[in-house]
Amino acid sequence: MILTGLGLAALVVTVAMTFTAYAAHRTGHWAVVDVTWGLGFAAIGLANLAAHPGPRAVLLAVLVVLWGGRLGAHLRRRSSGLGEDPRYVALKKRHPNMVTAVLLPQGAAMWLVALPLTVPLWQEQARLGWMAWVGVAVWLVGIAFEAVGDAQLSAYKADPGRGPVLDTGLWRYTRHPNYFGDACVWWGLWLIAADHGWISAATVISPIAMTLLLRYGTGAALLEKSMMKRPSYPEYAARTSVFFPRRPVSSAKTR
C-alpha cells in the first residue's frame, strides 16, 4: 500500500511538472516553477486524502494546502508584471535544456520532500497522538515566520524612504525568516507523520533535505552570494544570524 502512495505522489509530480513546462514554454518565464513548488505539495496532499481518507490525512492535507497555497499566491504576486527571474536567465545560458536542468531535479525533490504526506496515510490508520499536536505547533511557528517575514519584506520594498537593509521585525533576528519558517513547516508535518509509527518516522529524510536545501542549497546560501555585494549588507550579516533566529551580536561569526 505504501508503494501505491509513492506512485500516486509521483503521478501528481509528473502532471504538475508537465503543466509547468507548458506554461514556461508559452510565457518564456521559467520562474513559474517556483509557484508550482508550493501548489504541487498541496496537490499531493489532496490526492492522498482523496485516495486514503482519515484524520491524519485530513490534518496533513489542510496544513500543506494552507502552506502551499499561501506560498504559491505570494510568489505569483511577487513576480507579476516582471520579466524572467535573473536566476533562470543565468541558468538558461549554462543549460539550454531547462527540463533536465530545472524540472526533473525539482520534481524529484518534490517527491522526496513529500514523503511525510504520503507514507503514513497508506498504513493502518491510528488516532492522532501528542506528537502530532506538537507538529501542528511547530507548523504554526513556521507559517508565522514565513508569512510575517514575507509581509515585512514587501512593506520594506514598497517604502521609498527605506534604509539600505531590512533589519527590523523578524529580520533583526535572522537574515532569512521565510526560509527558517519553511524548514519549521516541514519539521511540523514530519512530526505529524512520525506520530504514526517507525515507518513514518523514517521519512525524516524529508525535513532534513528541506532544511539543507534552504540553508546550504538553493535558499539562503545562493541568495547570500548576491546580497553580500550590496552596501551595508556585510555589516548586517556580521551581527545577524543567517538562518536560526537569535539576538543580534557584534561578532562576525553567525550561524
pLDDT of 252 reads: 45
pLDDT of 93 reads: 76
pLDDT of 244 reads: 96
Contact 20, 33 (CB under 8 A): yes
253 or 136: which carries more pLDDT confidence? 136
CA neighbours closer than 13 Å in the CB half-sphere of residue 203: 27
**Average pLDDT score over residue span 57-73:** 95
Mean per-residue pLDDT of the chain: 89
Q: Per residue in 183-226, pLDDT tens?
A: 999 999 999 998 877 788 889 999 999 999 999 988 898 889 88
Return the exposure string of 72-97: e unless at least 16 CB atoms fall within 10 Å of the residue's CB, then b: bebbeebbeeeeebeebeeebeeeee
User: Is a pLDDT exceeding 50 seen at residue 234?
Assistant: yes
206's CB contacts (< 8 A; 6+ apart) are 112, 113, 114, 115, 116, 186, 189, 190
pLDDT of 254 reads: 46
